[in-house]
């Protein structure tokens, strides 16, 4: 099991429930490492600069006997599924005592499962959603609730994947989910059922982030995130947003077309907000060509003859 904490420490867990918290930011300094096992604490030097500083903890002898099947990190701790099909929650990053979530009655491994952090759960406690058989179980420290979806039309989600259940499900930010199959297929589904399909060989690793999804394959590391509202306003095909009109006005101006002034007159009451959207879109745009064009839009109509307050940033030679 691998995972990142909110403080960007790397958590590495072995099958016997022993796990280390690596502070990679200290690696280059060659800092000595505090290693803790049970109640004993020992100071040892870092094995290498790559290893960095780490703290070592254990989930206990009972977990070591049955083993750890899988685990996931959330903002306030980690949850593991043991070989006895029990979910354990460890709060915090200081080797706290694991507490068992409610018994599930599972006799087979779930197809996939994910953690709902306390700030997102209805109970304000950590919850686990597990795909078991033809239903989904909602599990917290007190209850295990069958969501009773066996009779619903979930095949609409799985139709493009031959009805087989995914081997992994991850959040893409907070408005979409990604499903992975063992044969390398990845399907990202939006809030209205629309989606994108990807194919990798072999199957990649999915890492959910607070603002998107990281897909790590043998050849690439890709990041999927929701397209920002400012980008949609400017670049959506057929957009009538004031920022899109402003960008079109710049293109007309650079071509010497009189339609540039017409476009500006049409949006003059909202010109300031349109400039703000273009600046925001420029900050989100990865292509330098479009970055410069959007900043030229802002500079042209901010310090032009339209009476807008001049920008206070140095745009340089665009």
Higher pLDDT, 16 or 6: 16
Helix, coil or strand: residue 196: strand
- Give the highest mean pLDDT range of 23-27, 34-38, 54-58, 273-277: 54-58
DSSP state of 151: T
Going from N- to C-terminal start, the domains of the chain cover 229-302
Stated length of the chain: 318
pLDDT at site 48: 39
Of the ranges 11-20, 30-39, 97-106, which one carries the lowest mean pLDDT score?
30-39
The model's pTM: 0.49
Q: Could you tell me the sign of the dihedral formed by the alpha carbons of 292, 294, 297, 299, in that order?
A: negative
pLDDT at site 69: 95
pLDDT in tens, 138-173: 899 899 988 765 544 333 333 343 446 688 888 888
- Give the highest mean pLDDT range of 4-13, 83-92, 294-303: 83-92
pLDDT at site 227: 86
d(CA 253, CA 256): 5
Please give the structure tokens belonging to residue 86: 């029990």
Q: What is the mean predicted confidence (pLDDT) over 90-110?
A: 92
pLDDT in tens, 207-248: 988 788 999 999 999 999 888 889 999 998 888 898 888 888
d(CA 88, CA 203): 28
| Contact present, 80 and 70 (Cβ < 8 Å) | yes
Of the ranges 5-19, 46-60, 253-267, 268-282, which one carries the lowest mean pLDDT score?
46-60
Q: What is the dihedral of CA 94, 17, 104, 145, to 10 degrees?
A: 40
| Contact present, 274 and 242 (Cβ < 8 Å) | yes
Phi/psi of residue 193, each to 5°?
90, -5
Estimate the crossing angle of helix 259-267 against helix 242-254, to 10 degrees: 160
pLDDT at site 266: 81
d(CA 93, CA 54): 12
DSSP state of 116: E
How many Å is the Cα radius of gyration of the chain?
A: 26
Residue 78 has pLDDT above 90, yes or no: yes
> Which distant-in-sequence residues (6+ apart) come within 8 Å of 218 by Cβ?
202, 204
Estimate the crossing angle of helix 271-284 against helix 288-302, to 10 degrees: 160
pLDDT at site 149: 59
Phi/psi of residue 251, each to 5°?
-60, -40
Taking every pair of C-alpha atoms in the chain, what is the biggest distance, in angstroms?
79
Q: Could you tell me the sign of the dihedral formed by the alpha carbons of 40, 43, 47, 50, in that order?
A: positive
Higher pLDDT, 169 or 36: 169
| Contact present, 251 and 235 (Cβ < 8 Å) | no
Sequence-separated contacts (24+) of 184-193 with Cβ below 8 Å = 185/161, 186/215, 187/160, 187/161, 188/213, 188/224, 189/157, 193/156, 193/157
- Give the highest mean pLDDT range of 23-27, 40-44, 88-92, 297-301: 88-92
pLDDT at site 263: 76
Q: What is the mean predicted confidence (pLDDT) over 280-307?
A: 77
Please give the structure tokens belonging to residue 27: 């690696």
Helix, coil or strand: residue 209: strand
| Contact present, 102 and 144 (Cβ < 8 Å) | yes
């Amino acid at each position: 099991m691998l995972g990142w904490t909110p403080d960007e420490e790397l958590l590495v867990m072995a099958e016997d429930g022993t796990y280390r918290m690596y502070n990679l930011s200290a690696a280059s300094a060659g800092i000595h490492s505090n290693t803790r096992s049970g109640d004993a604490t020992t100071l040892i030097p870092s094995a290498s600069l790559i290893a960095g500083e780490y703290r070592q903890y254990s989930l206990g002898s009972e977990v070591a006997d049955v083993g750890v099947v899988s685990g996931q990190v959330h903002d306030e701790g980690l949850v593991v599924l043991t070989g006895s099909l029990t979910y354990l929650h460890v709060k915090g990053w200081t080797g706290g005592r694991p507490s068992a979530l409610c018994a599930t009655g599972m006799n087979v491994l779930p197809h996939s499962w994910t953690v709902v952090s306390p700030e997102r759960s209805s109970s304000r406690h950590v919850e686990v959603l597990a795909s078991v058989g033809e239903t989904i179980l909602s599990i917290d420290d007190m209850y295990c609730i069958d969501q009773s979806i066996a009779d619903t039309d979930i095949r609409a989600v799985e139709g493009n994947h031959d009805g087989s259940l995914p081997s992994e499900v991850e959040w893409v930010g907070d408005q979409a989910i990604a499903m992975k199959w063992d044969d390398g297929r990845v399907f990202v589904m939006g809030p209205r059922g629309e989606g994108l399909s990807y194919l990798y060989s072999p199957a990649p690793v999915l890492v959910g982030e607070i603002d998107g999804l990281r897909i790590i394959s043998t050849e690439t590391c890709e990041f999927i995130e929701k397209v920002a509202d400012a980008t949609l306003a400017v670049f959506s095909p057929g957009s009538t947003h004031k920022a899109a009109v402003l960008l079109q006005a710049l293109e007309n101006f650079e071509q010497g077309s009189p339609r540039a002034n017409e476009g500006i007159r049409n949006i003059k009451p909202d010109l300031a907000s349109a400039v703000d959207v273009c600046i925001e879109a420029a900050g989100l745009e990865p292509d330098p060509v479009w970055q410069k064009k959007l900043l030229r839009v802002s500079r042209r109509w901010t310090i032009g003859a339209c009476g807008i307050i001049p920008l206070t940033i140095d745009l340089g030679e665009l």
